[in-house]
Amino acid sequence: MLTYITKGTCSRQILFNVTEDDKVVDVKFIGGCSGNLQGIAKLVQGRPVDEVISLLSGIKCRSNTSCPDQLATALSEYKAKNAEK
């Protein structure tokens, strides 16, 4: 399970996994609006990393970001770290 510490949102952390074929699974937000974030987690389940980044990147709420945008950021950072390997 990967952990991302959010910035500028009500949620504090995002936990997630990425499968060997680059699909997002097991997303869980810690803190934030529980119902909405459970819905986002279900909607991204099994989708390719690049698709989730494309769908959620740039969504604004507070502090010029949002929980969905922070998930996109977390996945972008995950991709950058794995590209180095």
pLDDT at 39: 98
User: Looking at residue 65, what DSSP letter applies?
Assistant: B
11 and 29 Cβ atoms separated by less than 8 Å? yes
Domains belonging to the chain, first-starting first, are 2-83 (3.90.1010.10)
Sheet holding 24-31, edge to edge: 2-5, 11-18, 24-31
Residue 52 in this model has a pLDDT that exceeds 70: yes
pLDDT at 83: 87
Residue 85 in this model has a pLDDT that exceeds 80: no
Phi, psi (deg, nearest 5) at residue 64: 60, 25
Arithmetic mean of pLDDT, 3-9: 97
80: buried, middle or exposed (CB in 10 Å: 19+, 13-18, 0-12)?
Answer: exposed
